[in-house]
Structure 1
Amino acid sequence: MTAPSQVDYRDILRVWQQADAIEEIEHAWLFDHLMPIFGDPNGPTFEGWTLLSALAAQTDRLRIGLLVTSNRFRPPAMLAKIAATVDIVSGGRLEFGIGAGSRPSVPLARREYEAHGLPFHDAAHAVGSLAEACTIITRLWTDTEPFDFNGTYHQLTGAFCNPKPVQQPHPPIVIGGRSTATLRVVAEHADVWNIPGGDIDDVISRSALLDRFCAEIGRDPAAITRSIALPVTYDQPDDVRRAIAEAIDAGFTHVVLILPAPYPDHVARWVADELITPSA
């Protein structure tokens, strides 16, 4: 993962193109913020989906996505169209990451809503809107005729998406979050669930709660791949390898390594040789 903030576009492109040639690296990610959430508050931050489409056109192999799209930023029908476009540009390599939006633990994240004229509703509204958005987006990708949708949070008339994504029935849906309410949405809609790393015991307990919610609706918990995002420190690779090993032991088979900028030369090769191969 290369956060598209406080960094130059060419630096991100360099890392992604290097990673694209390294088999051990399976996927690459951006985040979805409109303003910095770290470093200089007035520094550069690229719009995630626009940048993702550019990177999709300049890579060939990597699975790609945003970890994760804020459902608060874009109406779901518009987001479905954007994502379908990126899946086509990439030749069917999109991992569709989405979440309720906002980072309540990061005060800087709140200001991007007012700065862009976006409403900031409470958590219950955000999660309810996410659940409806997942239904709408999936239908837009799969329904062959226009449809109406009258939900609590979203209303559409004659909704239709054409062209459809390359991937059938649709791109994998990756939902990020750890709250109890979000995990219920994960149980119903996600192919992959992502959680930020940290206290591994908390991560394990959240995963067990997801298992329970799956069982309650009759879904096999094994149908949802467990994903974790772990920060990388270039000068302490042993710590990162230990975190990777803990996550894998806990059943998290989809590991996203968050690279801090500035990116060293040949950083993708370093990640493969120092972090991935020793942890395999």
Structure 2
Amino acid sequence: MTAPAQVAYDDVLRVWREADGIPQIEHAWLFDHLMPLGGDPNGPTFEGWTLLSALAARTERLRLGVMVTSNRFRPPAMLAKISATVDAVSGGRLEFGIGAGSRTDVPLARREYAAHGLPFHDAAHAVGSLAEACTIIRRLWTEASPFDFHGEYHQLTGAFCSPKPVQHPRPPILIGGQATRTLRVVAEHADRWNMPGGSIDKAIERNATLDRLCEEIGRDPAEVTRSIVLPVSYDHPQHTRHTIRAALDGGFSHIVLGLGAPYPTGVARWVADTIIDPLSDKITTP
């Protein structure tokens, strides 16, 4: 994962193109913020989906996505169109990541809403809107005829998406978040769930909660791949490997390694050789 903030386009492109040739690295991800979350508050931040489309056109193998799209930034029908376009550009490599949007207790994230004229509703509104968005996007990707949608948060008339995504029946849906109300949306809609950082103990506890919520609606919890973002330490790679082992033991089979900028020369190869390969005895393909 390369957060597209405090970096240049060429920096991100270099890492992605290098990773594209390394089989041990299966996915590459961006984040979805409009302003930096760290460093110079007025530093550069690229818009995630525009950048993702550019990177999709310059890579061939990596599955790719935004971890995770803020449902607060774009109307769901527009997001369905954007994501179908990126799936076409990538030749069917999109992993569709989405979440409720920034928490109300993260001031550096919240300021981007006022700066761009975007509304910032409370958490209940954000999660309710996310659930409807997942339904709308799935239908737009898969239904052959226009439809109307009259929800509590979204109203559509004659909604239709053409072209459809390349992937059939649709791209995988990954939902990020850890609040219980968000995990209920995961249980209903997601193919993958991403735990956005935090301690391994907290992740394991949330993992168990998701199991329970799946069972409550009659879904097999094993149908949802468990994903987690873990930061990479360039100075202490053994610490990163230790955390990955704990996450794997805790039931997380999709490990997203967050790279800090500036990216060292050859960082993708270094990650494969120093972080991934020494753990090969614990890594299995889900």
TM-score normalised by length of structure 2: 0.97
Is there any run of 5+ residues in structure 1 with no aligned partner, and where? none
Question: In 1, Cα distance between the equivalents of 2:102 and 2:253?
Answer: 26
Query: Aligned residue for 1:12?
Result: 12
Question: In 1, Cα distance between the equivalents of 2:202 and 2:16?
Answer: 31
Query: Aligned residue for 2:59?
Result: 59
- Indicate if the aligned counterparts of 2:37 and 2:109 stay in contact, CA closer than 8 A: yes
Q: Deviations over 1:14-70 (max 9, x none)?
A: 000000000000000000001111110000000000000000000000000000000
- Indicate if the aligned counterparts of 1:29 and 1:64 stay in contact, CA closer than 8 A: yes
Q: Which amino acid aligns with 1:265?
A: T
Q: Which amino acid aligns with 2:195?
A: I
Alignment of 1:123-138 (within 5 A): 123-138=123-138
Q: Which amino acid aligns with 1:62?
A: L
Query: Aligned residue for 1:234?
Result: 234
Query: Aligned residue for 1:272?
Result: 272
Alignment of 1:1-280 (within 5 A): 1-280=1-280
- Indicate if the aligned counterparts of 1:37 and 1:106 stay in contact, CA closer than 8 A: no
Q: CA deviation at 1:198?
A: 2.8
Q: What SS class does the counterpart of residue 265 from structure 1 fall into?
A: coil
Question: In 2, Cα distance between the equivalents of 1:103 and 1:205?
Answer: 20
Q: CA deviation at 1:103?
A: 3.5
Deviates more, 1:97-106 or 1:148-157: 97-106
Q: Which amino acid aligns with 2:133?
A: A
Question: In 1, Cα distance between the equivalents of 2:75 and 2:196?
Answer: 25
Q: What SS class does the counterpart of residue 23 from structure 1 fall into?
A: coil
TM-score normalised by length of structure 1: 0.99
Question: In 2, Cα distance between the equivalents of 1:74 and 1:104?
Answer: 18
RMSD: 0.6
Q: Which amino acid aligns with 1:259?
A: L
Q: How many residues align?
A: 280
Q: CA deviation at 1:236?
A: 0.5
Question: In 2, Cα distance between the equivalents of 1:81 and 1:198?
Answer: 32
Is there any run of 5+ residues in structure 2 with no aligned partner, and where? 281-286
- Indicate if the aligned counterparts of 2:103 and 2:123 stay in contact, CA closer than 8 A: no
Q: CA deviation at 1:107?
A: 1.4
Q: CA deviation at 1:197?
A: 3.0
Q: Which runs of 4+ in 1 moved over 2 A?
A: 103-106
Q: CA deviation at 1:106?
A: 2.7
Q: Deviations over 1:87-111 (max 9, x none)?
A: 0000000000000001444311011
Percent identical across equivalent pairs? Answer: 75
Q: Which amino acid aligns with 1:144?
A: A
